[in-house]
Amino acid sequence: MALGGCTALMPPAEDPVLVKLTELERRLQTIERIVDNQSLVRLTQQVDALERRADALQGQAETLEHSAETTAGRQRQLYADLDARIQDLERSIQSSGSVLESGRLAPGELPVPGGSDRDNYQVAFELVKEERYDLAAKSFKQFLLTFPDSELADNAQYWLAESYYASRQFEQALADFEVVVNDYPRSRKVPDALLKIGYCNYNIKRWDAARLALVQVQTDYPETTAARLAGDYLKRMANDGV
């Protein structure tokens, strides 16, 4: 009882249980502050990372916007250049209208006087499409005289021959198709020229020469449309007995 009375009279500040509880509470508060501080640090780090990512995305967006503006500017310039070239060609064609309408070409005169090789080639080719073969032939002749080194010379020679072939001048067409084969052996027009050599000889009734040219197309250019057409013509000749 004496001891119990002593314990009951002990001040709260000296009570070991209360002291221990107070110490534990203090430590818990310290730990909570540390945890709160660490959470705040992580949150701050996350915010910083998000801000850096947002800055990077903004930079990418600005770069893409600038690139799009640059591309649009180039496209506008290309369209403007193309439009200017078309207008120049149209003016050239209009300036040659009197020659084309009259159906005559003066010696040395081109369909598009002062125009480039492409301008003159295009005008002459349009005449072929319009089936104005006589004037087309004259135009291609003038083209070849004026632009003998043009990269379009082989095509011009072929369409010169084609103009004669379409107007059934087979002897002249034959001679001009042979020029394509002999003078422009690397031209993509050679298979077609050989095919037309066969056609010309057939129409002139030179059966052996026609057959020889058609077989050559099949042998030298087997994967071309010209070879297929040559085969069809050879079958026709066989059916006709020639």
| 92 within 8 A of 126, measured Cβ to Cβ | no
How high is the mean pLDDT of the chain?
Answer: 81
CA dist., res. 108 & res. 117, Å (int)? 14
3-state secondary structure of 95: helix
How far from chain centre, in Å, is Cα 145?
33
The residue to which tokens 């009951």 are assigned: 8
How far from chain centre, in Å, is Cα 80?
18
pTM: 0.59
Return the number of other C-beta atoms located less than 10 Å from residue 40's C-beta: 10
Task: Assess whether pLDDT exceeds 60 at residue 111.
Answer: yes
CB neighbours of 112 closer than 8 A, spacing ≥ 6? 92, 93, 95, 96, 119, 120, 123
Task: Assess whether pLDDT exceeds 70 at residue 16.
Answer: yes
Among candidates 242, 183, 181, 164, which has minimal Cα distance to 210?
A: 242
Q: Mean of the pLDDT values across residues 71-90?
A: 63
DSSP character at residue 13 = G
What pLDDT shows up at residue 50? 73
CA torsion sign, 237 to 238 to 239 to 242? positive
Query: What pLDDT, in 10s, does the model give residues 162-192?
Result: 999 999 999 999 999 999 999 999 999 999 9
What pLDDT shows up at residue 216? 97
Which region, left, alpha or beta, applies to residue 186 given φ > 0 means left and ψ of -120 to 50 means alpha?
alpha
Q: How far is CA 5 from CA 1, 10, 18, 70, 90, in A?
A: 6, 9, 18, 95, 124
DSSP character at residue 130 = T
Helix (H) or strand (E) holding 185: none
Q: 132 burial class (0-12, 13-18, 19+ CB within 10 angstroms)?
A: middle
CA dist., res. 182 & res. 84, Å (int)? 38
Query: What pLDDT, in 10s, does the model give residues 125-146?
Result: 999 999 999 999 999 999 999 9
Which tokens sit at 109?
């005169």
If one compares 84 and 3, the residue with the highest pLDDT of the two is 84
CA dist., res. 149 & res. 137, Å (int)? 19
Among candidates 99, 92, 171, 94, which has minimal Cα distance to 136?
A: 99
3-state secondary structure of 110: coil
